[in-house]
């Protein structure tokens, strides 16, 4: 049976890894980032995933970053450490490290160069990783648009239920809402499905999601908190309006490269995360200026200010 842990509720921030100008780690920036997320009532941290550039960091760097987030969280909110990489042995070692430092859960994405040839192999691969942290809940990170691994997640849960004793659920980053709902119906209260697309949060909630993991929750949490409150109150019109606001933000930054652009946005709200690690491109000064102008044009900075305006301009 999987570990009995309370289900996550609300927004889980997929955190950025702050880097100095020379692209070395800048862990000194992490405590203030975590404090900011706590203030925004974020329900948990998902570190070293796609947003955190985990696959671009060395084994040692990933351990250092994981430790910094666990220490900064200091028990105020749970920390999930993404440990997946091309080497299953290395991923297992990272899972062991996460358990040793007091993380609350581990997660792993599939290898992508040598892809699992079937769902059974995928389950076996995740079981190898999860065994490194036998006392922590494990979430498989399903992101087929990036990995190209797109087996049925219902089949994954069915096969993994007995093969991975610590399986807690799936971080589901796919537009396939009907598969997400099917997984929820199969999972019952044994597993949890974490919704993974910020710009489609309302769709995930409609299908039954209780928690969501996303990058834009780092700098636009007030919009999503209003969306969650409206949905809970049955005000679907307001929930749709808040979702539209988040989509306007995504449309603004996507042309600049989503990961580099979001790091730039973090600096604009007072939490400089530095450059990105190649092959993720860092925005040039002119691109940053243009992005700020685009965000100003939709009143982004007012919309994400808890005490500010409640909407983005109509020119979205």
Please, what are the domains in the chain? 10-233 (3.20.20.70)
Instruction: Name the pLDDT band for 3 (thresholds 50, 70, 90).
Output: low
In which residue are the tokens 């450490």 written? 81
Q: Quickly count: other Cβ atoms within 10 Å of residue 189's Cβ.
A: 6
Binding residues: 51, 213
pLDDT at position 305 = 83
| Helix count and strand count (H, E) for the chain | 13, 8
Q: Exposure string (b/e) for 19-51, b if CB count within 10 Å is 16 or more?
A: beeeeebbbebbeebbebbeebebbbbbbbbbb
| Per-residue pLDDT tens over the stretch 146-172 | 999 999 999 999 999 999 999 999 999
User: How far is the C-alpha of 31 from the C-alpha of 172, rounded, in Å?
Assistant: 28
Instruction: Name the pLDDT band for 6 (thresholds 50, 70, 90).
Output: confident
Model-level pTM greater than 0.85? yes
Q: What is the CA radius of gyration of the chain?
A: 19
pLDDT greater than 80 at residue 308: no
Instruction: Name the pLDDT band for 5 (thresholds 50, 70, 90).
Output: confident
| Per-residue pLDDT tens over the stretch 222-267 | 999 999 999 999 999 999 999 999 999 999 999 999 999 999 999 9
Catalytic residues: 141, 171
User: How far is the C-alpha of 4 from the C-alpha of 36, rounded, in Å?
Assistant: 29
Binding residues for pyruvate: 51, 213
């Amino acid at each position: 049976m999987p570990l009995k842990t309370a289900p996550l509720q609300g927004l889980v921030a997929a955190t950025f890894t702050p880097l100095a100008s020379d692209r070395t780690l800048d862990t000194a920036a992490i405590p203030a980032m975590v404090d900011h997320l706590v203030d925004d009532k974020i329900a948990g941290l998902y570190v070293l995933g796609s947003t955190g550039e985990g696959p671009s960091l060395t084994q040692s760097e990933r351990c250092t970053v994981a430790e910094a987030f666990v220490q900064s969280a200091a028990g105020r909110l749970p920390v999930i450490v993404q440990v997946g990489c091309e080497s299953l042995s290395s991923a297992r070692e990272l899972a062991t490290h996460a358990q040793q430092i007091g993380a609350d859960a581990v997660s792993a994405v599939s290898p992508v160069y040598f892809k699992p040839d079937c769902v059974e192999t995928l389950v076996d691969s995740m079981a190898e990783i999860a065994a490194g942290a036998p006392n922590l809940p494990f979430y498989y990170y399903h992101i087929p648009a990036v990995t190209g691994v797109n087996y049925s997640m219902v089949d994954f849960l069915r096969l993994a239920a007995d093969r991975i004793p610590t399986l807690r659920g799936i971080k589901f980053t796919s537009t396939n809402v009907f598969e997400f709902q099917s997984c929820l119906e199969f999972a019952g209260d044994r597993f949890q499905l974490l919704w993974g697309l910020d710009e489609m949060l309302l769709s995930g909630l409609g299908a039954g999601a209780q928690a969501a993991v996303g990058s834009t929750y780092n700098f636009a949490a007030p919009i999503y908190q209003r969306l969650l409150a409206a949905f809970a109150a049955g005000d679907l019109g307001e929930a749709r309006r808040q979702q539209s606001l988040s989509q306007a933000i995504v449309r603004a930054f996507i042309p600049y490269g989503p990961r580099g652009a979001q790091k730039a946005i973090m600096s604009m709200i007072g939490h400089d995360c530095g450059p990105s690690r190649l092959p993720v491109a860092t925005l040039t000064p002119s691109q940053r200026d243009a992005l700020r102008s685009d965000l100003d044009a939709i009143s982004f900075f007012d919309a994400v200010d808890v005490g500010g305006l409640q909407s983005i301009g109509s020119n979205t």
